[in-house]
Amino acid sequence: MPYILNTDDDRREMLAAIGAASVDELFDSIPKNLRLDRPLDIPPACSEPELTADMERLAAQNIPAGRTVSFLGAGAYDHFVPAVVDTIASRSEYATSYTPYQPEVSQGNLQVLFEYQTLLTQLTGMDVSNASLYDGGSAVTEAVLMSLAAAPKRRRVVVAASVHPEYRQIMATYLENLDVSIDVLETPEGTVDAAMLAKTVRDDVACVVVQHPNFFGCLEETAALASVAHDAGALFVVSVDPISLGLLRRPGDYGADIVVAEGQSLGNPLSFGGPYLGLMACREAFLRRLPGRIAGQTTDREGRRCWVLTLQTREQHIRREKATSNICTNQGLMALRATVYLAAMGPHGMRELAELCVQKAHYAAAQVTGSPRWQAAFERPFFKEFVVRDRQGKVAAMLDEARESGVFAGVPLGRWYPQLDDCLLIAVTEKRTRGEIDRLAKLLSSSNSKRAMAHA
Amino acid sequence: MRNRQATRLLFELSKPGRRAARVPACDVPTGELGDLLPDAALADEPPPLPELGEPDIIRHFVNLSTLNMSVDTHFYPLGSCTMKYNPKRNERLASLPGLADVHPYQDPTTMQGLLALLFELQEMLAEIGGLDAVSLHPAAGAHGELTALLIAAAYFRDRAEPRTKVLIPDSAHGTNPASAAMAGFKAITVGSTSEGFVDLDDLNSKLGDDVAVLMITNPSTLGLFEPQIETICRRVHEVGGLVYLDGANMNAILGVTRPGDFGADMMHFNPHKTFSTPHGGGGPGAGPIAVRQQLEPYLPVPVLVRRDGRFVLEEDRPKSIGRVRSFFGNTGVLVRAYCYLRTLGPDGLRRVAENAVLNANYLLARVKHFLPVPHGDRCMHEFVASAQRLKQEKGITAMDIAKRLLDYGFHAPTVYFPLVVKEAVMIEPTETESKETLDAFVEALFRITEQSAESLHAAPHAAPINRPDEVRAARRPTLHWQPSDQSGEH
Ligand SMILES: Cc1ncc(COP(=O)(O)O)c(C=O)c1O
């Protein structure tokens, strides 16, 4: 047993001290008829070399981002992760510590959280941030729950169809048993129409939820939408791409009340969808409704500046069923990664990164739609992602073909938007080179291959 | 020895003109930004982030890390949290690019190895829990609780049974009632007997056809196996309710008894406790759930299944509660848990439980002589001592003990939880600690109880800071650094 230190002698001495005849006796409180009378039916133990060989075999059966050219995005992005992020996050003192409930021996973690919160307020222009939620999807729903709690008489939520479909599904799941209705505002042109929104939002709406850049990569007219929401007394909730904030106006500057985001892009590997982190920042007015942990500054008895977890009366371990959320374990190590990432990028790195994404995505869009087969699905400004429509309507076949040529060409949209089943969402990060983009364009334009015909 | 220069805030270390990361040169023809994006959308300035060079960053975060206690550096007898050793092979293997760099929307044919691993993990968890079907989606234990309660709600809605209540023993973790409320149920507390078990009379008086779920932690947060668990589950089932097991304490019973066998219908696992994945200073964890057959149709989508020898992610599940998170699960954490289970195998897992229980009982046997343990002479993987007598006789509180232990190089136990024990000191050694460590801990604990309350109130003395002013932190919240803030110039 690699991780147990007790020797047979230890066990004998310990049993003697306990006054028990055997280890079995320590389990006497478990009724005999409830005991498992056989070994668990799971694979036998294996050594580290055997496990390593097995894991390498399993890993070899997947095609990771580094072994293909990936234009997949839709909420999870292949951005570069600087080595400093891994170096810091793999330190035992961070990775193997618990939630900093004992501040005297957790100042490292607490200061990191305080720095993380500060970086998020700087990035978003909001007043306060919590110390992370599970992921960008559940963060949207937490923001909705906050809005509902802030206005108990308002029982409607308006969410744009251009918000990530999975985020909307999460919202629907969480709200199913609460007395709340969700109105999805269609976005046939790719973005929310402010006039249409104004018709939907009345004084029974707790919040309006949009994503910016939205699921299709398009920029929403956030300031106008914020006014519509505010005119009806509703809160304006925005889900952002943190990378875009190197370039785009900060949500705090266009009237957002609560900002959430998927934080994966800030130094976290793709890892098949998790662990990521949900970012959440809001206006001061909603501070006491924030879910999750918050680090705050104070002083110790000698007047030294230090940090603690604070405002804990919001949380489940104090308030139980009246807590602002049930969240306990959050995504601390991912928040550390985001902190190191933002420190490494700095203001200019973030600006240049965002610009690079914009330029490369626009180049890619021009190249792809240069072929008669593809057209832009939406005539809207976009950030690092865009939707193209296949005039031949053979997206699935094309994706198979591209994959065989070593390119993950994009995410097909039909599973979420039946009217877009001939459309592809293409994401371009700073890692994609001109050569790779040209290859994508070439693959996509090669219409009517034999395979494509066979699939049609 | 402390490097106070390097541990100033990032914002105080910042100097215009410094930077660490550079982005690649742009290799595509560029357009004017103003032509590509509307002016109204663009910020005038880059975000006001700090400016630092790479050596700054490394020295800052490395020095900060040394202010933390961690499992790799200290004994962490934190009750309910199962702070066991985090194997290094799991870290290395989870970061294999073939696992760590897989995109959630890749075609399933390009990730059959990863899906096979996750499928096998589902099967192992079902077997360990004695239940039928598993969802790996939930991101932590509390998220698993919520997911299972949403499943219960969907199940009862399907059966046209309007059940509104969730019963929760008073010794339960705060996430239980918080999850019940979030799922739209009314949380009803069930009392405990003086022995620390569920009060059956109180339970009976609250059971009825309006009860959807009983959430029970077994072994309980007092470290006791509920002797009446079968009866409790039977009573709940008799009124048509479901039993949820909070699996935070699975470490005590791995391979010994299974929740499904003692009557639970649903449960969560905490891989960051039971299956050795690192806590990361507060996360990430994972909270996979296991359920009985009749609840399987309600599991969140997508569901990972095997069809004709291939692994697929099924979305089309008409009875599913829907989604509880984006993408699939905290995969990186789940991969580590998988490595752990493969390393230990059936016998290894059982030995985990045996040694965790042995270590806890050994500590209990030694500690109870000077720090009373109200709920019995034996425990499972943890026990709850009480400083109530010390407080009355000498003015020494659970908090004092916790803080003074830090001076001796031990992390504090969990204190003031569970709420049913006054001045609770909740100790969980886990199986990965040695007798030598446990002996040294007992010694330190004993010495502390002999010390004067006055000196203890001032503890810790040897930590990087002494007790922070929590009241001030909450009353005048300072939750981020601001440029005008000069208070850090010590
Ligand atoms: C008994 C018990 N239940 C539930 C939880 C919640 O689990 P998590 O923190 O993974 O959400 C915990 C963890 O602290 C616990 O100890």
Q: What per-residue confidence (pLDDT) applies to A318?
A: 86
Per residue in A93-145, pLDDT (tens digit) is: 999 999 999 999 999 999 999 999 999 999 999 999 999 999 999 999 999 99
Q: How far apart are CA A372 and CA A360, in angstroms?
A: 21
| CA B172–ligand 1 middle distance (angstroms) | 10
**Is pLDDT of A321 > 70?**
yes
Dig out the tokens for A434 from the structure.
């001109």
Q: What is the pLDDT of residue B486?
A: 52
Strands (E), B239-300: 242-247, 266-269, 289-291
Distance of CA B144 from the midpoint of ligand 1 (Å)? 10
User: Residue B487 above 60 pLDDT?
Assistant: no
Query: How many A from CA of B173 to the centre of ligand 1?
Result: 7
Contact yes or no for B38 and A114 at CB 8 A: no
pLDDT in tens, A308-319: 999 998 988 888
Which atom of ligand 1 is least distant from the CA of B270?
10
ipTM of the shown complex: 0.97
Domain A83-342 classified CATH 1.10.760.10? no
Interface-testing mutation among A9, A38, A113, A134, with chain B (most B C-beta atoms within 10 A): A134
pLDDT digits (tens, 9 = 90+) for B415-468: 999 989 999 999 999 999 999 999 999 999 999 999 999 999 999 999 999 999
A101 lines ligand 1 (CB under 6 A): no
The string of pLDDT tens digits covering residues B7-47 is 999 999 999 999 999 999 999 999 999 999 999 999 999 99
Neighboring chain B residues of A344 at a CB cutoff of 8 Å:
20-21, 52, 54, 57
pLDDT of residue B215: 98
Residue in this structure with the two tokens 């000069």, named with its chain if needed: B486
Chain B 151-170, residues with CB within 8 Å of chain A CB atoms: 153-154
CB pair distance less than 8 Å for A4 and B179:
no
What does the H/E/C string look like for B31-88?
A: CCHHHHCCHHHECCCCCCCCCCCHHHHHHHHHHHHCCECCCCCCECCECCCCCCCCCH
Nearest residue on chain B to A357, alpha-carbon basis:
B26
CA of B167: which chain A residue's CA is closest? A321
- pTM more than 0.90: yes
Q: Which of A266, A268, A271, A425 to mutate to test the interface with B (most CBs of B within 10 A)?
A: A271
Cα of A124 to nearest chain B Cα, Å: 8
What pLDDT sits at residue B485? 54
- Are A273 and B331 in contact, with CB atoms under 8 Å apart? yes
How many A from CA of B269 to the centre of ligand 1? 9
pLDDT value at A449 more than 80: no
Binding site membership of B173 for ligand 1 (Cβ less than 6 Å): yes
Instruction: For domain B347-467, give its CATH number from 3.90.1150.10, 3.40.220.10, 3.90.120.10, 3.30.56.10.
Output: 3.90.1150.10
Of the partner residues B128, B256, B272, the one whose CB lies closest to the CB of residue A329: B272
User: Which structure tokens are listed for B92?
Assistant: 């290395």
- Nearest 10 degrees: CA dihedral of B132, B134, B140, B142? -50
Model confidence band, residue B398 (pLDDT cutoffs 50, 70, 90)? very high
> pLDDT tens digits, residue range A255-279?
999 999 999 999 999 999 999 999 9
C-alpha span between A180 and A153 (Å, rounded):
10
Q: What pLDDT score was predicted for residue A451?
A: 47
Pocket test for ligand 1, best of B143, B145, B175 (most atoms within 8 A of CB): B175
Is the domain spanning A67-77+346-454 CATH 3.90.1150.10? The answer is yes
Ligand 1 atom at minimal distance to the Cα of residue A326? 11
User: Does the pLDDT value for residue A11 go beyond 70?
Assistant: yes
Residue B490 pLDDT: 37
Choose among A338, A140, A80, A254: nearest CA to B49. A338
Q: Is A326 in the pocket of ligand 1 (CB under 6 A)?
A: no
User: Is residue A453 scored above 70 in pLDDT?
Assistant: no
What pLDDT does residue A456 have? 37
pLDDT tens digits, A177-212: 999 999 999 999 999 999 999 999 999 999 999 999
Give the span between the Cα atoms of A425 and B275, in whole angstroms: 38
**Is A270 in Cβ contact with B101 (below 8 Å)?**
yes
Using alpha carbons, list the distances in angstroms from residue B330 to A328, A334, B116, B140, B198. 15, 12, 16, 9, 33
A386-407 pLDDT tens trace: 999 999 999 999 999 999 999 9
In chain B, positions 258-317, which contact chain A (CB-CB < 8 Å)?
Answer: 258, 261-262, 270, 272, 276, 278-286, 300, 315
With tokens 């108990």, the residue in question is A152
The answer to whether B21 touches A83, Cβ cutoff 8 Å, is: no
Query: Which of B182, B474, B434 lies closest to A297 in space, CA to CA?
Result: B474
CA-to-CA distance for B441 and B434, rounded, in angstroms? Answer: 11
Give the residue-averaged pLDDT of B264-269: 98
Give Cα A304 to chain centroid, integer Å. 36
The two structure tokens encoding residue A72: 């997949």
The Cα B410–Cα A110 span in angstroms is 19
Atom of ligand 1 nearest to the CA of B285: 10
By CB neighbour count within 10 A (0-12 exposed, 13-18 middle, 19+ buried), where does B347 fall? middle
Query: Pairing mode, if any, of strands B303-307 and B310-314?
Result: antiparallel
- Asked if residue B153 has pLDDT above 60, the reply is yes
Residue matched to tokens 């309350």? B453
Phi, psi of B216, rounded to the nearest 5 degrees: -130, 145
Are A319 and A312 in contact, with CB atoms under 8 Å apart?
no
Q: Are B234 and B387 in contact (CB under 8 A)?
A: no
Asked whether the beta carbons of B433 and B359 are under 8 A apart, the reply is yes
Pocket of ligand 1 contains residue B177 by CB under 6 Å: no
Q: DSSP code of A249? A: P
Q: What's the CATH number for B88-343?
A: 3.40.640.10
Residue A353: pLDDT over 70: yes
Contact by Cβ (8 Å): B149, B185: yes
Show me where the domains of chain A are located: 67-77+346-454, 83-342
Q: Which of B78, B80, B224, B253 to mutate to test the pocket of ligand 1 (most atoms within 8 A of CB)?
A: B80
Tell me the average pLDDT of chain A. 96
Number of A/B CB contacts below 8 angstroms equals 705
Assess contact for B141 and B176: CB atoms under 8 A.
Answer: no
Which whole number is the average pLDDT over A79-100? 98
**B178·A250 Cβ contact <8 A:** no
Q: How buried is A22 (Cβ within 10 angstroms: 0-12 exposed, 13-18 middle, 19+ buried)? A: exposed
Residues of A in contact with B365 (CB under 8 A): 17-19
Cα A379 to Cα A391: distance, rounded to the nearest angstrom: 16
Q: What phi, psi does B118 have (nearest 5°)?
A: -65, -35
Give the pLDDT score at A447.
58
Q: Please count the other Cβ atoms lying within 10 Å of the Cβ belonging to residue B471.
A: 10
Q: What percent of chain A has pLDDT over 70?
A: 98
CB contact under 8 A, B70 and A304: no
Nearest neighbour of B474 by CB, restricted to A51, A277, A311: A311
Is B238 at the interface with chain A, CB within 8 A? Answer: no
Select from B47, B98, B480 the Cβ nearest to the Cβ of A62.
Answer: B98
Compare CB distances from B103 to A72, A117, A304 and report the shortest one's residue: A72
Q: How many helices (H) and strands (E) does chain A have?
A: 14, 15
Q: Where residue A454 falls among pLDDT bands split at 50, 70, 90? A: very low
Work out the mean pLDDT of chain B and round it to a whole number: 96
pLDDT confidence of residue A322: 87
The per-residue pLDDT for B233 is: 98
The pLDDT, as a whole number, for residue B2 is 86
- Cα–Cα distance for residue pair B113/A67, rounded to 1 Å: 15
Does the CA dihedral B173-B176-B181-B185 come out positive or negative?
negative
A104: region left, alpha or beta (phi > 0 left; psi from -120 to 50 alpha): alpha
CA of B382 to the centre of ligand 1 (A): 15
Compute the average pLDDT of residues B47-72.
98
pLDDT at B380 over 80: yes
pLDDT grade for A36, boundaries at 50, 70 and 90: very high
Instruction: Give, for A440, the enclosing helix (H) or strand (E).
Output: helix A434-445
What tokens were used for A420?
């877009």
Domain boundaries, chain B: 3-41, 88-343, 347-467
- For A73-82, letters b (16+ CB in 10 Å) and e give bbbbbbbebb
Any ligand 1 atom below 6 A from CB of B142: yes
CB A359 within 8 Å of CB A341:
no
| Average pLDDT estimate for A415-428 | 97
For A56, the closest of B54, B58, B96 (CB atoms) is: B96
Please state whether beta strands B383-386 and A407-408 pair in parallel, antiparallel, or not at all (unpaired).
Answer: unpaired
Query: Phi, psi (5° rounding) for residue B4?
Result: -75, -25
For residue A129, give the H/E element and its range.
Answer: strand A128-129
pLDDT tops 90 at residue B113:
yes
pLDDT in tens, B72-82: 999 999 999 99
Contacts of A90 in chain B (CB under 8 A): 91
Tell me the residue ranges of DSSP E strands in B273-347: 289-291, 303-307, 310-314
Residue A15's pLDDT is 98
Angstrom CA distances, B138 to A326, A337, B271, B324, B333, stand at: 13, 21, 11, 7, 11
